Structure 1
């Protein structure tokens, strides 16, 4: 499997995996994802095997940090190490940078409780730790994980505002949770 920053992106397949992997409440309009990549604000790495897309990661470099905006693996390929290979490549691609991402906050009453636990375990097995920072917004209650150094509340809010843009950040309702 190759993790590539290819010039020609398989956008149709990326969109299919994107829609399959994320609930509507967590998805940005897909045209904004493409625009961020095309303008150079975001970097999209694809996991290709035998010329087929197996997964992708969308990252947003900002100052001394890199925010993992989306990591998705095709349902046909899950549980085969694809996600771990992608995350290892992200960590190699950005040496010396703090890597941050959001996951749904653990919640014993959540419908997808097991999925949340599995997702958290996946990131911890790949070297991420909890920042002990939580946010809330239109996407729900989220926990911030980091790799390569702890991120502060202020740093996280800055990278999130940069990623979304000032207007979308305000509309997202993102704020620090207690």
Structure 2
């Protein structure tokens, strides 16, 4: 498996998987993501192994990288693609602070079991809970980090820069 930058030929696949994998409330307008790519602030990456198997959308700010969206194609889930891809992402960004966000573990949430599985998956692939908690789009989120360790303050600052200044979205610290 390799990670490669998406080409124009990949965009229909990327957009379809993006819309299938993420609830509308959690999606940024795709045109904004494309604009950030053109500005050099974001990357749309394809998980490729004899054809696309998934996507990763990263945002960069201040020498740090946020894995904003990560999805494996439903036809390839449960086969280790996601774990291999996350390992490649961590390797690609090993020289930087590398973050991702997950829905906070809330025993009352209807998808609590899914949240627990998601967190375990990321932790099994080297991501560490930073202790940083944010509310984004009204959803409580936890920040996980891989690569260069970061303090709570660094996580908080990078998260705020990425969302407030790049997307003009308010972030609330929990």
TM-score (norm 2): 0.90
Q: CA RMSD in A?
A: 1.9
2:131 match: 132
Gap regions ≥5 residues in structure 1: none
Residue 83 in 1 paired to residue 82 in 2? yes
1:156 match: 155
1:22 match: 22
Residue 48 in 1 paired to residue 45 in 2? no
C-alpha distance 165-105 of structure 1, shift in aligned 2 (>3 A): closer
* TM-fit CA distance, 1:158: 3.3
1:73-152 alignment, distance < 5 Å: 73-152=72-151
Conservation of the 8 A alpha-carbon contact between 1:25 and 1:139: no
Q: 2:31 & 2:91 partners in 1: Cα distance? A: 28
* Number of aligned residue pairs: 174
1:176 match: 173
Q: Secondary structure at the match of 1:67?
A: strand
Conservation of the 8 A alpha-carbon contact between 2:164 and 2:170: no
Conservation of the 8 A alpha-carbon contact between 2:94 and 2:148: no
Conservation of the 8 A alpha-carbon contact between 2:65 and 2:97: yes
Deviations along 1:140-160, whole A, 9 cap, x unmatched? Answer: 000011112433344334323
Gap regions ≥5 residues in structure 2: none
Q: Secondary structure at the match of 1:96?
A: coil
* TM-fit CA distance, 1:2: 2.8
* TM-fit CA distance, 1:165: 4.8
